[in-house]
Amino acid sequence: MSRRRLSQVLRTLRTGKGLTQVQLATKAKVTQAYVAKLESGAKTNPSLEILKRLAKALGVAVTELLE
């Protein structure tokens, strides 16, 4: 997966759910800075554990983040 793709999917899902980066970070138990880095493409290849927490916080399957 390209980092651009993950960043776009993450931002689209987050905004579609009406969440701020802070709200998503709190739900996924990561920092807002980490979410921002993922969305900007500055951070790539998050661990499976982080992907699971982000997916759960967004109410989607992990596979949706990876499509």
Number of compact structural domains in the chain? 1
Find the domain containing 41 and state its range. 3-66
Rounded to whole angstroms, the Cα distance separating 42 from 56 reads 22
Q: pTM (2 decimals)?
A: 0.91
DSSP the chain: --HHHHHHHHHHHHHHTT--HHHHHHHHTS-HHHHHHHHHTSS----HHHHHHHHHHHTS-HHHHH-
CATH code where residue 44 lies: 1.10.260.40
pLDDT tens readout for residues 28-58:
999 999 999 999 999 988 999 999 999 999 9
